[in-house]
Amino acid sequence: MVKKKDKVSDNLWKNAWKRLLKNRAAVLGMVIIALIVFSAIFAPYIAPYDPIKQNILARYKPPSAKHLLGTDELGRDILSRIIYGARYSLLIGIISISLALIFGIILGVLAGYYGGLVDLLIMRVVDIMLAFPYILLAIAIVAILGPELRNAMIAISIVNIPRFARLIRSSVLSIKESEYVQAAKALGASDLRIIIKYLLPNSMAPLIVQSTLSIASAILSAAGLSFLGLGAQPPTPEWGAMLSDARSALQLAPWVVTFPGIAIMLNVLGFNLLGDGLRDALDPKLKN
């Protein structure tokens, strides 16, 4: 038999889903993301050419029937590189934010639930990290670890931990004083059980919204690091690296820069639209 609390929780999520589907901007965001995910999964089947195969004789060819988006300085098909680049973009965003979310939840829960010296130490470290500009801290971390896509993902994860830690801490501070949490403590429930059963489930809504928006930010940051030569290295078909390679040909072959830039813009736009829609759907009071 389903408990009454579970039924209420299911209804809340169903209502949130219905509100999300009524939001046209959020639906547009989901469509954009779905198309990017589709491209990433089926890249070998829909890409017309090998993304790293060079053809010097076909360098800087403008968009045509043979190469729909033209070719780059090494004669590589830009459309194929953009399609394969979706894999790296999504991989960077999802993995880096997932890692940041895990560590942010651990630190935020510890700080909010136990308070005292634990809270003081964790939040001072978080404050120090937040004192540095986001991109500069990421650049510093990559400079220490070395210019590589994996290290760029690690850097993006680290710089995103503070925002999740502060978010989950604020939620835990408000929820842990609730009557049902105090009742669970009185009945002898362990701290781990209280955290898993009561604190985390009731903190999911803001975490989902923040995670979606942070994926967009992570994709943009990864593109920026690759543009500076600190992320993906040649010949990886990553959108930021494609922009970096095409800087010298901006006037000669503008399509080499334009289409990867549009791909980054659409990817970030999709996650931002979905994140805004999730925020309104999970907390409809914000829309009013």
* 198: nearest Cα among 9, 1, 2: 9
Is residue 202 situated within a structural domain? yes
**End-to-end alpha carbon distance in the chain:** 37
> Rounded distance, CA 203 to CA 166, Å?
12
Give the pLDDT of residue 8: 52
Which segments of the chain does DSSP mark as H helices, in order?
Answer: 4-22, 24-41, 43-46, 78-114, 116-131, 134-145, 149-175, 179-186, 191-194, 204-227, 239-245, 255-282
Is residue 244 situated within a structural domain? yes
Contact 226/241 with Cβ under 8 angstroms? yes
Domain count within the chain: 1
- Least confidently predicted of 15-19, 164-168, 205-209: 15-19
Per-residue model confidence as pLDDT tens digits over 220-272: 999 889 888 888 888 888 898 888 888 888 788 899 999 999 999 999 999 99
Contact 61/245 with Cβ under 8 angstroms? no
Instruction: Look up the CATH number of the domain holding residue 78.
Output: 1.10.3720.10
pLDDT band at residue 7 under the 50/70/90 scheme: low
For 61, which DSSP code?
P
Q: Report the b/e string of 68-96 with b at 16+ CB within 10 A.
A: ebbbbbbbbbbbbbbbbbbbbbbebbebb
Give the whole-number percent of the chain exceeding pLDDT 90. 44
Is residue 175 situated within a structural domain? yes
pTM: 0.86
Is residue 58 situated within a structural domain? no
Per-residue model confidence as pLDDT tens digits over 22-66: 889 999 999 999 999 999 999 999 999 999 989 888 899 999 999
Q: What is the mean pLDDT of the chain?
A: 87
Give the pLDDT of residue 30: 94
Three-class SS of 132-173: CCHHHHHHHHHHHHCCCHHHHHHHHHHHHHHHHHHHHHHHHH
**Average pLDDT value for residue range 89-93:** 90
Work out whether the CA dihedral 255, 259, 265, 266 comes out positive or negative. Answer: positive
Contact 142/240 with Cβ under 8 angstroms? no
**Average pLDDT value for residue range 132-143:** 89
Give the pLDDT of residue 174: 85
Is residue 62 situated within a structural domain? no
Is residue 36 situated within a structural domain? yes
Is residue 60 situated within a structural domain? no
Is residue 138 situated within a structural domain? yes
SS3 174: helix
Per-residue model confidence as pLDDT tens digits over 183-214: 888 888 888 888 888 888 888 888 888 999 99
Q: Which range marks the domain in which residue 110 is found?
A: 4-52+67-287
* 25: nearest Cα among 274, 285, 287: 274
